[in-house]
Amino acid sequence: MTQNLMQRRKKRARKSKDIVDTDTGAAPTKRTRKKKDAVQEDDHVEKKPKRTVKPKKVAEESDGQPSSTLAKEIRENLSKFPHCLLLTRVGNFYESYFEQAVEISKILNIKLTTRRWGKGPMVQIAFRCVGFLSYTSTNTSKFMVQQHKRFVAMCEEFPKYTSLGERETIISLLSAYPTEGNLDPTTLGLTWIDVSTGEFYSKRTSYDSLRDDIARIGPREIVLDKSIEQSTHPVLEAIAEEDTVVSFIAPSYSADNVTAVESESDEESSAESALQGEASPTPIANVTDEITTAQDTSPSTPFVYTTQETSAIGLLTTYLQANLLEHMPHLLLPNREDSGGRMQIDSHTIKALEIRESMREGGVRGSLMSSVKRTITTSGTRLLARWLCSPSTSIQEINARQSLVAFLHSRPHFRTDLLDLLAKAEDAGRIVQKFLLGKGDPNDMLALTATVNIWNNIQRRITLEREMESLEQRSFDATEWASLDTLMNRMVNLEELAQRISLAVENPAPSQLDESQGSSSEATNEESDDYSQDTGPLRAEWRYGRVKFGIKIKPEFSPTLLELNNILKDLWQQKARMEERLQLKYDAPSLTLRSSPGQGMHVHLAKSKRDQRQLNADPAFVSISETGTTRSYFYQDWSQLGQQIFTTSIAVLAAEKEAFETLRTEVNLHAPSLRRNARVLDELDVTLAFAQLATDLNLVRPSIQEDTTYNVINGRHPTVELGLLTSGRVFTPNTVALTPSSHFHVITGPNMAGKSTLLRQTALIAILAQSGSFVPADACSMGIVDKLFSRVGAKDDLFHDRSTFMVEMLETAEILRRATPRSLVIMDEVGRGTTVKDGLALAFATIHHLVSVNRCRTLFATHFHELSDMLGYKDSSMPAGQGIFNTVAFHCTTVNEMDGGTFSYSYRLRPGVNRDSHGLKVAQLAGMPILAVAVAQDVLTALKSKPAEELDANELASLGQALS
């Protein structure tokens, strides 16, 4: 939020009685002008003209409300944004007033002060205020939003000239609009946007998938229809477990007024405009996230938004308009995400597999993202995270990505050159969005130009590599270049825009004083008050207080600007000649011509005792101030010339501002092309990263098929392997073969023997393969996985009144309801949180349902070796399919016993069942006291001598008595 508060900055009353410290009650001492750079708490009190106060007026303003301009504006903003903590920019501080100041002081642990509004016979009302320096606003606002879940509105003082940089946290807004009336009650519209980049998406989803979508998208804020705020709507239940800020707003129009009909076959059906509520004749194609192959150029099936999606889009744009105000960007219709083209990973799995962040440390360290990240641009890193959280299910798309990874992997020198060029590129998507939001400065313009030039250099380097290969190889294979050519052909030539910006905007250069201002050795502290500092023969940057004006547009950009700069240059030369003439005529080497807000245009003597004699004798020089060593005079000729310089400089600045706005408009017109090119380079960055990853970790290209197999030879866990390598250890790989005749594997084995690692690496290999990356294995071929589920590593959720066992059952129930024959499921220790009999019953029921109903590829790890007997297992020589289910196979890990009572884990998977969990060995490794381990061993030996189910209560009591 920006509010123009320039009026109160024109005239201020600096009176110590306006501020009273709440601790001491003493008024601060009056500050001198030389210390004006220090921000005073009473700087923003507006000076009111002297007038006679009528009794009637006093009564009107004695109603308890402050009457100053600043106070009224703050009250107005508080009423506009009652749900926000309001921070108002005053000088170098952000301050809070009235009732909110107390809350903010507690949140930030900063001091409260008391301020009195009004003076004289006017009523004086005490209010509290707090403040913090503007350069800390980024961390401060982030702390209040993320840690205290409060909305923050920031009111700026100089919206046109003051830039605080990108202080806001990057926010994704997700709007979920529920169905109403006779619509399908199982679906709802979903829309989300990244405000910093303008990436805008929409999809139709279900209540079952909503939580998974939220976990995948990772929004910072969710916007819902206000009508469900006080209800028990399923949407609220779906997002209850997510630690995300939720906002409610009433939509600006009703979804009933919008007729958005989904059309897959009728290409002439009209698509409803979600932003205006009016029909658009053009159907919108599905958003593509892929590198397509050159031979397939058929267009996507057109579609229109559903009513639920249209309502969600309208709800989100209403919220943006209400909160972004004049910074509301111009939004295009959102890209529609096709759920059928992406692997669906449920929210539990995203967290359990630690795809984006580690569960233990809460950061990225230890996550899949940290292990595979080789991207070098921030936008490429964002795309990588999106690919890992929503891998493709299109074989064409996956093969296109892998082909480009293989192409880049086989050309290390070429890859290095491209990485060097990419490393210099800026985040073009966010720069473009800044311009669309009405922000951005010349530095952003230059950064955009440099990035466009880098894009062109990348294209030229690719062309050069192709020409070199065609000359070096006798049989040049153009098909190897198909994926790269298709990707780069999507780029738009923006060289003309880059050249125009380069010809208009000056590159920043170190400031240099004009020789006409004298040597730096003669400068005094009073120069800090000079608001006409010349930074070159053609430039003048005018200052007011600490605010600096000036845009640095080249004079040649327009005839008007060139003419004004020539005039300004001539005036500066006249000033230099006048200064030199006066120095010689009056024998005053320290004489300079200056200007300041306090003294206006004046002649300044740095060494007055030496140089003032002749000036004092000339009546044309009128003394206006004097210190111990300096003296200032009024001189009419310089006053007239200085006024011309000032007026011309203001005209130059106005012309530069107009020129910059012209450039901004041109950039905004090219925004779609700029974003398109940025997206192409993001994909190139990710595929380059995958190629580098394959080199670093010795990965292989997987083969993706349409069947339901999963064959990985000597697969490895990418994150665990990296952790072991850093400590000098070697990872033990394992082979997993899931086929239609053996798609369910029961895995038993000791604790700490790698069962959970095997399960997770199986899922992570599928994610990497369908993201387009190579995988950590000796060989890999697998069928497409449409949904990935896990039930591993549960913990209690006491906030929602759920025990560990309840969380396990909720996750298990969701898998049994949603898994399909093309899904991949990993499950660990189902039923362990209850009694052996209950747990065994639930584990068998889960296997029965997965095998007979879901029929999905599954790895099922358990310590219930009795399950093997229930499933008909006889011995390790029994082939798969000989039990009660013909698709269940049995595998295990074990412990190698050695002489002297020592042992080692065998992490290698083998056929069979392990009936000993070796839990006592884990307890021994954990440092359990020797006596406790000995007692546990005695109990275990006694229990093994006779099955536990044959021991009644008396026998167990006798056993306990004997061991005690």
Q: b/e map of 522-550 (b: 16 or more CB within 10 Å)? A: eeeebbebbbbbbbeebbbbbbeeeeebb
What are the angstrom distances between the C-alpha of 899 and each of 902, 903, 904, 914, 923?
A: 6, 8, 11, 21, 20
Element (DSSP H or E) covering residue 335: strand 335-336
Comparing 157 with 394, the larger pLDDT belongs to 394
> Tokens in use for 343?
């692997």
State mean pLDDT over 716-730: 88
Element (DSSP H or E) covering residue 338: none
CB 409 within 8 A of CB 760: no
pLDDT band at 117 (very low <50, low <70, confident <90, very high): low
State the Cα–Cα distance between residues 387 and 400, nearest whole angstrom: 14
CATH class of 172-341: alpha beta
State the Cα–Cα distance between residues 785 and 820, nearest whole angstrom: 9
Q: By percentage, how much of the chain surpasses pLDDT 90?
A: 28
Q: Is the pLDDT of residue 257 over 80?
A: no
pLDDT at 506: 77
DSSP secondary structure of 173-222 = EEEEE---TTS-TTEEEEEEEETTTTEEEEEEEEHHHHHHHHHHH--SEE
Positive or negative: CA dihedral 767, 768, 772, 775: negative
SS3 (DSSP) at 683: helix
State the Cα–Cα distance between residues 594 and 342, nearest whole angstrom: 68
Q: b/e map of 805-833 (b: 16 or more CB within 10 Å)? A: bebbbbbbebbbebbeebbbbbbbbbbbb
SS3 (DSSP) at 256: helix
pLDDT at 30: 40
Among candidate residues 660, 658, 655, 678, the one with its CA nearest the CA of residue 444: 660
Element (DSSP H or E) covering residue 441: none
SS3 (DSSP) at 825: strand
pLDDT band at 96 (very low <50, low <70, confident <90, very high): confident
State the Cα–Cα distance between residues 727 and 730, nearest whole angstrom: 9
* Residue 267 DSSP label: T
pLDDT at 264: 33
Per residue in 831-873, pLDDT tens?
A: 777 778 888 889 899 999 999 999 999 999 988 888 888 888 8
Place of tokens 């360290």: 365
Q: Is the pLDDT of residue 674 over 60?
A: yes
Q: Is the pLDDT of residue 61 over 50?
A: no
pLDDT band at 514 (very low <50, low <70, confident <90, very high): very low
Among the residue ranges 491-505, 518-532, 797-811, the one predicted with the least confidence is: 518-532
C-alpha radius of gyration, the chain, whole number = 36
Among candidate residues 367, 191, 443, 448, the one with its CA nearest the CA of residue 760: 367
Q: Is the pLDDT of residue 327 over 80?
A: no
State the Cα–Cα distance between residues 862 and 873, nearest whole angstrom: 15
Give Cα 562 to chain centroid, integer Å: 42
What is the topology classification, in CATH, of domain 515-659?
Answer: MutS, DNA mismatch repair protein; Chain A, domain 3 (1.10.1420)
pLDDT at 768: 96
Q: Is the pLDDT of residue 526 over 90?
A: no
State mean pLDDT over 808-828: 91
pLDDT at 14: 37
> Tokens in use for 38?
């220090």
pLDDT at 878: 63
Place of tokens 């700069």: 565
pLDDT at 293: 42
- Tell me the residue type at 712: V
pLDDT at 169: 39
Give 875's contacts (C-beta < 8 A, 6+ positions apart): 912
Among the residue ranges 108-112, 307-311, 520-524, 647-651, the one predicted with the least confidence is: 520-524
Per residue in 475-502, pLDDT tens?
A: 677 888 988 999 999 999 998 888 888 8
Enter the CATH code of domain 7-155: 3.40.1170.10
Q: Residue 461 half-sphere exposure, CB side, CA atoms within 13 Å?
A: 16
pLDDT band at 131 (very low <50, low <70, confident <90, very high): low
Distance separating the N- and C-terminal Cα atoms of the chain: 73
How is the chain split into domains, by residue range?
7-155, 172-341, 373-494+670-697, 515-659, 708-769+786-928
pLDDT at 413: 94
Comparing 38 with 769, the larger pLDDT belongs to 769
Q: By percentage, how much of the chain surpasses pLDDT 70?
A: 72
> Tokens in use for 452?
């466009």
CB 882 within 8 A of CB 874: yes
State mean pLDDT over 650-664: 88
What are the angstrom distances between the C-alpha of 510 and each of 161, 513, 553, 554, 741?
A: 21, 10, 16, 16, 73
The two beta strands, 600-605 and 631-635, are: antiparallel
pLDDT band at 20 (very low <50, low <70, confident <90, very high): very low
CB 183 within 8 A of CB 176: no
Among candidate residues 113, 109, 101, the one with its CA nearest the CA of residue 41: 113
Bridge partners of 802? 797
* Residue 32 DSSP label: P
Positive or negative: CA dihedral 898, 901, 902, 908: positive
pLDDT at 800: 54
Among the residue ranges 24-38, 696-710, 731-745, the one predicted with the least confidence is: 24-38
What are the angstrom distances between the C-alpha of 487 and each of 481, 642, 678?
A: 10, 58, 12
Q: Is the pLDDT of residue 306 over 70?
A: yes
The pLDDT mean for the chain works out to 75
SS3 (DSSP) at 800: helix
Element (DSSP H or E) covering residue 14: none
Tally of CB atoms within 10 A around 894: 19
The two beta strands, 93-97 and 19-20, are: unpaired
SS3 (DSSP) at 387: helix
Enter the CATH code of domain 708-769+786-928: 3.40.50.300
Q: Is the pLDDT of residue 725 over 70?
A: yes
pLDDT at 753: 77
Q: Is the pLDDT of residue 126 over 50?
A: no
> Tokens in use for 531?
């608001």
CB 338 within 8 A of CB 202: no
Bridge partners of 622? 634
pLDDT at 361: 60
Enter the CATH code of domain 373-494+670-697: 1.10.1420.10
Q: b/e map of 489-499 (b: 16 or more CB within 10 Å)? A: eebeebeebbe
Dmax over CA atoms of the chain, in Å, equals: 124
State the Cα–Cα distance between residues 90 and 79, nearest whole angstrom: 20
pLDDT at 879: 59
Positive or negative: CA dihedral 809, 811, 814, 818: negative
pLDDT at 505: 84
pLDDT band at 724 (very low <50, low <70, confident <90, very high): confident
Q: Is the pLDDT of residue 823 over 90?
A: yes
State the Cα–Cα distance between residues 62 and 525, nearest whole angstrom: 46
Give Cα 419 to chain centroid, integer Å: 23
Give 467's contacts (C-beta < 8 A, 6+ positions apart): none
Positive or negative: CA dihedral 313, 314, 315, 319: positive
Q: What is the CA angle 395-849-212, rounded to 5?
A: 50
State the Cα–Cα distance between residues 19 and 39, nearest whole angstrom: 13
Q: Is the pLDDT of residue 162 over 70?
A: no
- Tell me the residue type at 105: S
Among the residue ranges 68-77, 443-452, 571-580, 624-633, the one predicted with the least confidence is: 68-77
Q: Is the pLDDT of residue 691 over 70?
A: yes
pTM of the model: 0.74
State the Cα–Cα distance between residues 427 and 440, nearest whole angstrom: 13
Surface-to-core class of residue 169, CB atoms within 10 Å of its CB (0-12 exposed, 13-18 middle, 19+ buried): middle
Helix axes 442-472, 428-436, angle to 10 degrees: 150
Q: Is the pLDDT of residue 876 over 90?
A: no
- Tell me the residue type at 813: A
Among candidate residues 365, 379, 311, the one with its CA nearest the CA of residue 680: 379
Helix axes 482-489, 395-409, angle to 10 degrees: 110
Q: Is the pLDDT of residue 574 over 50?
A: yes
Bridge partners of 678? none
State the Cα–Cα distance between residues 767 and 343, nearest whole angstrom: 8
Among the residue ranges 1-5, 322-326, 900-904, 927-931, the one predicted with the least confidence is: 1-5
Surface-to-core class of residue 323, CB atoms within 10 Å of its CB (0-12 exposed, 13-18 middle, 19+ buried): buried
Asked if the domains 7-155 and 172-341 are classified in one and the same CATH topology, the answer is no
CB 146 within 8 A of CB 169: yes
> Tokens in use for 622?
């009128």
State the Cα–Cα distance between residues 317 and 520, nearest whole angstrom: 55
State mean pLDDT over 429-436: 88
pLDDT at 513: 33
State mean pLDDT over 358-382: 85
Bridge partners of 935? none
Per residue in 647-656, pLDDT tens?
A: 998 898 888 8
